[in-house]
Structure 1
Amino acid sequence: MHLDVAVDILKKAETSLVSYRDTGFADAQTFAKEICEEMNVEAALKQKRLRTTKRQFSYEAPDEPITDALKKMEFSFFNVVVDMAIESLREKTGMMSDVAKKFSVLINFSDLTSSELEKQAKDLCNTLTSGDHFDLNYDELIVEMQSFPKQWPKQNMTTLDLLVFLEEKGLKEIYPNMWVALRIAVTTPVTVASAERSFSKLKLIKTYLRSTMTQERLNGLAIISINREISKQISDIEPSPDPDITVYREDDGLFGFYE
C-alpha cells in the first residue's frame, strides 16, 4: 500500500470511528437485547453496590457517582476504548500525512500556482537531499512539471498511477526527476513490522534452560535469526572462536550452540 492511499484510508477510518462513538453504544444495546431475547435472558445490567471511602478535607468537591449501570459502562468503558482508538489513528495519520504531504506535489502540480509549485517542489527536493547528495534537481523538476501534459495527472490519480503512465508512454527519460521522485514515493513503506515480528523469536532463543545467557550472546543470536535470508547462505557448520562451542543451524534457520 502506498502513502497517499494509506492516509486516505486512515482518515476514513477515523471519521467512521467518530461517528461510531455517537451511535455505537445505542446500536450495541439493541444488538445485545436481541441476543438476550433469543437466549431467554433478562436484558439488564445489575448495578454494583456503591462503596464509600473516607476522604480528607479538600477544597475540591468529589464527583457524583453514576448510579445508572448503562451510563457508567458507556462513560467508563465504551467511550474510553473508542477515544483511545481515535487518538491512536489521529497520531498515526498525522505522522503519515506529514510524509505524504511532501510527495503530494507530484500529483497536484497541475492545480498549483507558480509560487506554490516552486515552494512545494523545493520542499520535496530538500527532503530528498542529504549533505552533498541529492536525488532531484530543483530547476529541472520545475521545468518537467510545467511542461507536463495538461490532462495529466487526472483527478483522484495516485502516485502509482502516474508512475505507470510514465512507464507505459515511455516518458521516463523525458521526465527523469519526476520518474525518480515517483519511484521513491511508491516504495516508501507505510509500516515496518519486521522489528515487531522479531520479538517472537526471543522465546525460541532465550528459553528456560538458557536463562543465564548474556546480553551480547542474545543479541548475536537474535540478529542471526532475524536476518534469515543471509543466514541461509552460511554453511551448516561454522567454526566458533571458542574451541568448546560448535555453531549449528536448525531447519527453521535458528542458530544455536553445542557446548
Structure 2
Amino acid sequence: MLVWLTRKENKSVLDKQLQEQLNKETEYYHNVLKRVIAVLKFLSIRGLALRGSEEVFGSPHNGNFMGALELLAEFDPFIREHIEQRELRPNPVISYLSKTVYEEIIEIMGKQIIKQIITEINNDDTNFGENDDEKVDFRKEARNLFNKLAKLETAILIVFWEEILERFNVVNKKVQSPGLDIGEGNKLIVSLKEFVKNIWQQSDQKLKEYEEKAKKLSTSLGTDYSDINKRRITLKFSDKSTDKVSVNCAEKFKRDTLNVALDKMIMDLNNRSQAYETYSKKFKFLMDLQDKNQEHIDLESVRNIIDYYPNDVDEHLVNECIQLKSYLLQSKTESYTSCSEIFWLIYEKKLVDVFPNCYTILKIFLTMPITSCEAERSFSRMSYIENKYRTTMSNYRLNHLSVLSINCDLTKDLQCDDQIKEFAAQKCRKVAL
C-alpha cells in the first residue's frame, strides 16, 4: 500500500497516468448516471412506464426511458455521443443505460425516500405544526392532527391492529395461493375467527398489554386516556330515579372501541365461514375420501353433485367413489390428507381411466376460487403506475415506484451524487484495503 501511494505521487511514472485515466473515466460515467437519474425522476414522479416492447435506441417502441434519452440527446452533445459510441455500434459496450441499471437505481432512490421519511418523523415529532414558514391554517391543522396522534387511544389502536392485521395478512395470502381447496380455506377462516374470539375473551388482559406496548412507541404520547377529566353522565330511568355512571376510561375504551371492532370481525368471519361450509357440505363426499378415520362416504352428497353437474359427471360417480375410498384405505404407507393429493395420486398413477368422474369432480372442486379479493392499493396514482400495460411488474418494484411517485417533492430534491455513490458501492468489484 505504501509503495502504491509513493508511486501515485510521482507524476512521471505510469501509475500516475493510470490514476488520471481512472479519474477521467469516473467523471465520465458520473455524468452519464446524472442524466439517467434525472430521466428516472421525471418519469417516476409522473407514474409513467419505463420499458417498451423493444430495448433498441431508434425504435418507436423502446419505451419512455429510452425515448426520453433520445429526446435529451437532440440537445445534449454529451449523451448523444455516448449513445452513438456505445449503443449504436455493431457490438455495444457497457453504457449504463440498460434496464438492469435503472432498476437498481430505482431501488436505491426508493430506499432513500423511505429512510428520509422515517428520519423526518423521528426528528420532527415534537415540532409538528410549529413551522413558521407554513400558513397559519396549515399549522393549526397539523397541530390538531398531532394532538390526535399523540393520544394514548391512538397508540393502543396501532398496537391492536398490528396484531390483528398480521394474522389476517398471512391467512389472506395463503387463501389466495394456488393449490388450496375450499375445505382447507374454511379451516383457516375458522381458525382466524377463533383467534379473534380469544382476544375478545381476554380483552381485559390484552388491553393492559396494548397499553404497555403503546406507551413505548413514542415519548410524545399521553400517559392517560383523553376523556379522564370529562364529567360523569347522569342517567335517568323510567321510574324517575337517577344514577351516575362511573365507568373506568379503560373499560369505556374497551367497550366502545375494541369490543365493537372484534364483534364486527367475528361476525364477518362467521358469514364467510358459513359460505364455505355450504360448499363443503355440497362436496362432503370429498371430505370423506381424504379422512382416514371415515370408512364410508356420504352417498347422498354424491347424488346431489351428479344432479348439480349433469354435463360433467354421470351416475357412475357413486361406484367410483366407493372404490376410490377402498383404494385409499389400502394405501397404508401413504397418507392422502387433501383433495389435491388425491387428485395427483389419480394423475401420477395413471388411474384417470379407472376413476374418470372422480378425476373430473376433483378438478372442479380444486379450481373453485376461494376468494375474489384483489390486492388493491388506495393511492390515486396507482392507476397510472400499475395499468393494463404493466401487469407483470413485481410488488417490490411497484412499491419503490409508488414511493417515488407519491412523494414527488422528496423525489425532486434527491441529490444524484448520493445515488451514484451507492450504486458504485454495489457495483464495485475491488476489495477494500
Contact residue 7 and residue 93 of structure 1 kept, 8 A: yes
Provide the residue aligned with 1:189 in structure 2.
369
Of 130, 133, 141 in structure 1, the residue corresponding to residue 317 of structure 2 is: 141
Once superposed, what is the RMSD of the aligned Cα atoms? Answer: 3.9
Q: Does 1:100 align with 2:280?
A: yes
Pick 1 or 2: higher relative contact order, CA cutoff 8 A, min separation 6. 2
Q: Does 1:180 align with 2:360?
A: yes
Provide the residue aligned with 1:152 in structure 2.
328
Q: Does 1:123 align with 2:299?
A: no
Q: Provide, for residues 98-135 of structure 1, a one-character-per-residue CA deviation record: whole Å limited to 9, x for no partner.
A: 1122223124147264xx63211112222324xxxx21
> What amino acid is the match of 1:143?
N
Provide the residue aligned with 1:67 in structure 2.
247
Cα distance in 1 for residues equivalent to 2:383 and 2:218: 44
Deviation for aligned residue 1:82: 0.5
Cα distance in 2 for residues equivalent to 1:10 and 1:124: 25
Q: Is the deviation greater in 165-174 or in 99-108?
A: 99-108
Cα distance in 2 for residues equivalent to 1:7 and 1:60: 52
Question: Aligned in 2, Cα 1:178/1:43: closer, same or farther, shift over 3 Å?
Answer: same
SS in 1 for 2:270: helix
Deviation for aligned residue 1:169: 0.7
Contact residue 107 and residue 162 of structure 1 kept, 8 A: no
- Larger % of strand: which? 1
Cα distance in 2 for residues equivalent to 1:92 and 1:162: 26
> What amino acid is the match of 1:20?
I
Cα distance in 2 for residues equivalent to 1:19 and 1:75: 16
Which entry has the higher C-alpha Rg, 1 or 2?
2
Deviation for aligned residue 1:16: 1.1
Provide the residue aligned with 1:86 in structure 2.
266
Cα distance in 1 for residues equivalent to 2:313 and 2:302: 10
Q: Provide, for residues 233-252 of structure 1, a one-character-per-residue CA deviation record: whole Å limited to 9, x for no partner.
A: xxxxxxxxxxxxxxxxxxxx
Contact residue 33 and residue 43 of structure 1 kept, 8 A: no
Q: Is the deviation greater in 41-50 or in 177-186?
A: 41-50
Contact residue 336 and residue 342 of structure 2 kept, 8 A: no
> What amino acid is the match of 1:123?
N
Cα distance in 1 for residues equivalent to 2:240 and 2:366: 55
Of 9, 21, 34 in structure 1, the residue corresponding to residue 188 of structure 2 is: 9
Deviation for aligned residue 1:157: 1.2
Deviation for aligned residue 1:84: 0.4
Cα distance in 1 for residues equivalent to 2:242 and 2:352: 69
Cα distance in 2 for residues equivalent to 1:166 and 1:76: 54
Of 61, 76, 94 in structure 1, the residue corresponding to residue 256 of structure 2 is: 76
Cα distance in 2 for residues equivalent to 1:187 and 1:14: 25
Contact residue 106 and residue 178 of structure 1 kept, 8 A: no
Q: Does 1:164 align with 2:352?
A: no
> What amino acid is the match of 2:274?
G
Q: Give unmatched runs, 5+ long, in structure 1.
A: 206-224, 230-259
Cα distance in 1 for residues equivalent to 2:202 and 2:389: 47
SS in 1 for 2:264: helix
Cα distance in 2 for residues equivalent to 1:185 and 1:63: 59
Q: Is the deviation greater in 153-162 or in 118-127?
A: 153-162
Deviation for aligned residue 1:166: 0.5
Of 49, 57, 64 in structure 1, the residue corresponding to residue 230 of structure 2 is: 49
Deviation for aligned residue 1:67: 2.4
Query: Structure 1 length normalisation: TM-score?
Result: 0.63
Provide the residue aligned with 1:21 in structure 2.
200
> What amino acid is the match of 1:6?
G
SS in 2 for 1:188: coil
Question: Aligned in 2, Cα 1:62/1:150: closer, same or farther, shift over 3 Å?
Answer: farther
> What amino acid is the match of 1:106?
L
Q: Is the deviation greater in 37-46 or in 92-101?
A: 37-46
Contact residue 107 and residue 157 of structure 1 kept, 8 A: no
Deviation for aligned residue 1:36: 2.8
Provide the residue aligned with 2:215 in structure 1.
36
Cα distance in 1 for residues equivalent to 2:242 and 2:258: 23
Cα distance in 2 for residues equivalent to 1:63 and 1:88: 36
Contact residue 2 and residue 186 of structure 1 kept, 8 A: yes
SS in 2 for 1:10: helix
Q: Provide, for residues 86-108 of structure 1, a one-character-per-residue CA deviation record: whole Å limited to 9, x for no partner.
A: 11000001001111222231241
Contact residue 128 and residue 135 of structure 1 kept, 8 A: yes
Count of residue pairs brought into register by the alignment: 201
Cα distance in 2 for residues equivalent to 1:177 and 1:60: 73
